[in-house]
Structure 1
Amino acid sequence: MNDMRTRQQTVRDLYAAYLEDRKDKVIAMLTEDFTFSSPRDDHIDRAAYFERCWPKQPFFRAIHIEFLAVDGDEAAVRYRAEKLEGGSFANMESLRFRGDKIASVEVYFGRNL
């Protein structure tokens, strides 16, 4: 499988792991020096990401990937997430790879749907 298809699958597996509440799978996908940024978090490290951003209990009913593009070491994804308690939102994320692992994620918040 070529790198682009492998990285597309890694991105899909990342969102599937959120739905499955499989933090262990996500840990294996990230580099040791992984960073996460969003309008609420500025370049936090891997430990802070799991503490602040990983749901303490299942949060999502579904995550629908609407757009996914990979170009070299970067991926862009637009998705619609449905929350268990109702409601949904749309976001975009920029992911950077180092080898076969995700080195960083930058989230751009969309709107509530």
Structure 2
Amino acid sequence: MTDENDARRAGTVRALYAAYIDGRKDIVAAMLTEDFTFSSPRDDHIDRDAYFDRCWPTPPPFERMEIEYLGLADDEAVVRYRAIRHDGGAFRNIETLRFRGDRLAAVEVYFGREA
């Protein structure tokens, strides 16, 4: 993996979280492969449509998401973030994101604790 690929993928990851805060499904839809899957303790390999239905409420639930760690290796990124709700509450999660080319093929969320 080149530094240029890492930089591009890091930009994609940051853009994903920014689009989530802004409720911009249109931006994220272009980032995902057609066979994209999402998994969490509540979701087991759901497809794109279910991901947008279940995970993208209107209005967006968070005021902001602060990326605290972003690591890239081969076709995978690992992100630890702090999500701040509109009421001021916050929590941390870790996600792994798998790339296929320049698009996201899978996201797996590991729930953290209140922060």
Alignment TM-score, normalising by the size of structure 2: 0.95
Partner Cα separation in structure 1 for residue 54 and residue 86 of structure 2: 19
Letter in 2 for 1:25: I
Please list every run of 5 or more consecutive structure 2 residues that lacks an aligned counterpart in the other structure: none
Letter in 1 for 2:92: A
Partner Cα separation in structure 2 for residue 47 and residue 18 of structure 1: 15
Show the counterpart of 1:69: 71
Which consecutive aligned stretches of 4+ in structure 1 deviate over 6 angstroms post-superposition?
none
Q: What secondary structure does 2:67 align onto? A: strand
Task: Give yes or no for the alignment of 1:90 onto 2:95.
Answer: no
Percent identity of equivalent pairs: 63
Partner Cα separation in structure 1 for residue 58 and residue 12 of structure 2: 23
Letter in 2 for 1:107: V
Alignment TM-score, normalising by the size of structure 1: 0.96
Q: What secondary structure does 2:11 align onto? A: helix
**CA drift at 1:56:** 2.1
Task: Give yes or no for the alignment of 1:110 onto 2:112.
Answer: yes
In the comparison of the two structures, how many residue pairs are matched? 113
Q: What secondary structure does 2:43 align onto? A: coil
Show the counterpart of 1:100: 102
**CA drift at 1:40:** 0.2
Q: What secondary structure does 1:93 align onto? A: strand
What is the 5 A alignment of 1:42-81?
42-81=44-83
Please list every run of 5 or more consecutive structure 1 residues that lacks an aligned counterpart in the other structure: none
Partner Cα separation in structure 2 for residue 62 and residue 48 of structure 1: 23
